[in-house]
Chains A and B, each alone.
Chain A
Amino acid sequence: MTETTPTTLPAQSPPADPAGTAKARLSWWRGDGGEGAKRNLGLLATLAVLVVIGVLTRPDLYGDASWVWGNTLTILKLASVVGVVTVGMTFVIIGGGIDLSVGAIVALAGVWCTTVATQSYGAGGMIFSALTVGLAVGVVNGLLISYGRLVPFIATLAMMVAARGLAAEISDKQTQVSNNQFINGIASTDVLGIPLLVYILAAVVLAGWVLLNRTTFGRTVAVGGNPEAARLAGINVRRHTLLLYALSGLCCGIAAIMLTAQATSAQAAMANLYELDAIAAAIIGGTLLSGGRGTIIGSLLGVVIFSTITNLFAINGLSTEAQNMVKGGIIVAAVLVQQVQFGSLTQFLARNRATTT
């Protein structure tokens, strides 16, 4: 029913309406991830199924509580490096782009920070150079795409080839051993019984989540679904595109340090095909390839699901070939499940709530 009361405009400055604000406060923590949260529940269910398969195939191992804990940490450690890269990738994809150069950036940053010259500056110099190289390559990607108007796919494909080439050039195709104990210690140190690498992943995921969901920068990322609308709303879309690729590059820099520490060395072929792992994890996690939708938590779950599968094959002593086939199948299945089942599950839940307005 419409009343004929004359329309009054709300005041241009916020506040007033204490009831509404209080109600809004209450729901603050819930965020707006209703749909995303349900999708993540589905991912958790998938994870649970994988664990059950593990229990069924190796009941001997799963009987031992300390082995289970150790194996969980192994899985998380396995997920840590790709996880960090995937956070950056998730931002780029939500923003409507793609970054095929992440693996190459990790390699370039890893090689750069392990040259004899860089190592002479100590751990600080190595970390600084890895982060700077990652960031710089990301900025170049961003400039090519936002101001040079190259298609993201092409620009980062070119960067992928070029950065690996440069890494091979710098390292002279040799494996560069890291002699820095601090750097190598990053991969071997445990804090409170949990590997430092897992803390780094957690920190990056948390930072990424806050950045995406609670900051103005995150809001401009989410407009990736319709850049034209964002532009006409006065948002500087180009600058934000640039920042997205810079962010992805920075994540690669962090990952480069982690991976170098794990291997205690770096080489031009390291982080091979990380771009595919990261993109696959993001997609499994519910990130829409056309942009505009996706969650950090979903991507994290995607990465963990992959490393759990790898682990599952390892504890059963099966080949990597079979493993890759299963991963491919999981990607397709995950997308299908999201499209079909969770669409109707969401509807079902919402209908039962019956919030008629």
Chain B
Amino acid sequence: MSAPADAVAGEVVLRLTDVVKTFPGVRALDGVQLEVRAGEVHCLLGQNGAGKSTLIKVLAGVHRPDSGELEWRGRPAAFANPQAAMRAGIATIYQELDLVEDLSVAENAFLGHEPGRLGFVRRGHTARRTRQILARLGHPEIPPGRLVRHLPAAGKQIVSMARALSHEARLIIMDEPSAVLAHDEVGNLFRIIRELTAQGIAVIYISHRLEEIREIGDRVTVLKDGRTTAANLPARDTPTRDLVARMTGRTIEYVFPDRPADAPPRPELLRVDGLTRHGEFADVSLTVRAGEIVGIAGLVGSGRSELLETIYGARRSQAGTVRMGGRTLRPGSVGAAVKAGMGMAPEERKSQALLLGEPIYRNVTLATFGRYARLGFTDAGRERAAAGRMAAALDLRPRDVRRPVRTLSGGNQQKVVVGRWLLGDTRLLLLDEPTRGVDVGARAELYQVVRELAARGVGVLLVSSEVPEVLGLADRVLVMREGRVVREAPAGDLDENTVLDLVMAGSLMEGAPA
């Protein structure tokens, strides 16, 4: 569908030379070179903490570089603030969505530049233009008046895109946009990106999924430790080994740890019977044994996350029971679930899991600090030591656990959330998109950790939008569609295409499965 890499002939719209940006104690960018041409999809690749998000924040006027040159459409430029960057034609969709939850879709799309007359917002006009943009984005069904709070993650992202399009952008930057999307949504995203580039708009695209970069990207720039290690590689033809090696200094891709050769059947840990929440999922029954990894595949909106949250007691079921080790749990009580040995890493880390201003170690021990306390007195030293070991096990960067979580890169924040439950006496771990935003190397480490936990007898219930992840990691797979389990089978009996067919049957599908 898109042109080969060397056919990118657009003029250079953006050029960065030797850009440096330091934060207290960290050189986040340490000499970055980047060249982006009109009409291309330029991919940024790099491990967690490599500096990708920092780089785009420099472009978006959020951070000011310490040194280096930024050339925008042939002229040296410096953006004092995000408004200046936007006026110049650079729109950004951030990794952590930055929507105002209590404003409507239209208000968010036009936030800061509402069409107005004499100081009055022209609501009808705003709504109309929002509807046009949403239609262009392939989502005419989202009502412009709906509060963003009530949209699912994928819907929120569409609103972020709408905001970018509401400006007359020449360059649109997308920081891990596909992380919140399911397969068909990714297809839709790619269709939109192709439309944009056909109009001569340049796109900077960040993702940890190499197959996406191959599908949509034209050229790739690789960052490592804040430095450009390779620039303008052809996205399609550069061997994966080369890309990974330049990112990490080593050569691995997805490695799923081996499943243990027939382990003796262990006792049943979790039994869910006929669990129902109207409009979300219906009549779901499943079991997880000790030491077993059960994966749930399905589209965003198929009720997977809601199911997980209901099992965990964060939502109250309307029918059905959840039993842990034979004992029925009180519905709608997270406390009861945690006491029974459950732990959950939720889907949206920023709003559901992290205290951004608190130090790393306090986030890691959020569920367990009582265990390090004596007679109600906390012991920060022991907590830090425990969190430090966790940081080492998950290769968290930076290692200093007294830093506020706010200053970590997206993938490292995710490791903090997962690490939290590895500390406790968790017997059943509910993981909702555990590798979202986690880089290739750390991903392999995370898989290894999950496997080790299982080997120790911990049960794992895993939700992931990445089918290969579910198939590679889980022992048994449930496929969900529209709130119901449509298939249950050992992971070995399924392949990616079968799962995709099951998941998407009946839904209108855009784009090809990767």
A79 vs B339: C-alpha distance when bound (angstroms) = 44
Task: Known contacts A24-B380, A353-B25; decide if A7 and B367 are in contact (CB<8 Å).
Answer: no
Please encode chain B, from 367 to 392, with 1 for each CB lying within 8 Å of some chain A CB and 0 for all others: 10111110011101110111011101
Task: Known contacts A10-B386, A292-B355; decide if A357 and B397 are in contact (CB<8 Å).
Answer: yes
Judging by beta carbons under 8 Å apart, are A216 and B378 in contact? yes
Name the A residues within 8 Å of B43 (CB-CB). Answer: none
Chain B CB within 10 Å, residue with most, of A17, A24, A230: A24
Name the B residues within 8 Å of A350 (CB-CB). Answer: 24-25
Judging by beta carbons under 8 Å apart, are B25 and A21 in contact? no
Chain B nearest CB from A244 CB (Å) reads 16
Please encode chain B, from 448 to 463, with 1 for each CB lying within 8 Å of some chain A CB and 0 for all others: 1100110000000000
Judging by beta carbons under 8 Å apart, are B381 and A229 in contact? no
A2 vs B390: C-alpha distance when bound (angstroms) = 16
A216 vs B372: C-alpha distance when bound (angstroms) = 10
Task: Known contacts A232-B353, A356-B26; decide if A214 and B335 are in contact (CB<8 Å).
Answer: no
Please encode chain A, from 24 to 53, with 1 for each CB lying within 8 Å of some chain B CB and 0 for all others: 110110011010000000000000000000
The answer to whether A226 has its CB under 8 Å from any CB of chain B is yes
Name the B residues within 8 Å of A191 (CB-CB). Answer: none
Task: Known contacts A9-B453, A24-B385, A233-B367; decide if A4 and B250 are in contact (CB<8 Å).
Answer: yes
Name the B residues within 8 Å of A24 (CB-CB). Answer: 380-382, 384-385
Judging by beta carbons under 8 Å apart, are B395 and A9 in contact? no
Query: How many B residues touch the partner, as a band?
Result: 35 or more
Judging by beta carbons under 8 Å apart, are B25 and A217 in contact? no
Judging by beta carbons under 8 Å apart, are A356 and B25 in contact? yes
Chain A nearest CB from B462 CB (Å) reads 17
List the A residue with the shortest CB-CB distance to B24: A350
Judging by beta carbons under 8 Å apart, are B250 and A32 in contact? no
A7 vs B335: C-alpha distance when bound (angstroms) = 31
Please encode chain A, from 90 to 131, with 1 for each CB lying within 8 Å of some chain B CB and 0 for all others: 000000000000000000000000000000000000000000
Judging by beta carbons under 8 Å apart, are B372 and A28 in contact? no
Judging by beta carbons under 8 Å apart, are B376 and A217 in contact? yes
Task: Known contacts A228-B351, A350-B25, A356-B26; decide if A9 and B393 are in contact (CB<8 Å).
Answer: yes
The answer to whether B248 has its CB under 8 Å from any CB of chain A is yes
The answer to whether A347 has its CB under 8 Å from any CB of chain B is yes
Chain A nearest CB from B347 CB (Å) reads 11
Chain B nearest CB from A282 CB (Å) reads 17
Query: How many A residues touch the partner, as a band?
Result: 35 or more
Chain A nearest CB from B317 CB (Å) reads 17
Judging by beta carbons under 8 Å apart, are B381 and A27 in contact? yes
* Interface residue from B26, B371, B445 paired with A7 (Cβ < 8 Å): B445
Name the A residues within 8 Å of B382 (CB-CB). Answer: 14, 21, 24
The answer to whether B252 has its CB under 8 Å from any CB of chain A is yes
Task: Known contacts A7-B452, A17-B385, A24-B380; decide if A233 and B366 are in contact (CB<8 Å).
Answer: yes
Name the B residues within 8 Å of A32 (CB-CB). Answer: 359, 362, 380, 402
Task: Known contacts A6-B448, A32-B380, A350-B24; decide if A232 and B346 are in contact (CB<8 Å).
Answer: yes
A214 vs B374: C-alpha distance when bound (angstroms) = 10
Chain B residues within 8 Å of A, Cβ to Cβ: 22, 24-27, 47, 248-250, 252, 312, 314, 334-335, 337-339, 343-344, 346, 351-359, 362, 366-367, 369-373, 376-378, 380-382, 384-386, 388-390, 392-395, 397-400, 402, 420, 422-425, 441, 445, 448-449, 452-453
- Show 12 residue pairs from A and B whose CB-CB distance is below 8 angstroms, ordered by the A residue: A1-B249, A7-B452, A21-B381, A24-B385, A222-B362, A232-B314, A232-B334, A232-B352, A234-B334, A236-B335, A347-B24, A357-B398
15 additional contacts (CB under 8 A) given A28-B381, A215-B373, A216-B369: A2-B250, A4-B250, A7-B449, A8-B393, A10-B392, A14-B386, A17-B385, A24-B380, A218-B378, A222-B362, A225-B357, A226-B356, A232-B353, A234-B335, A234-B337
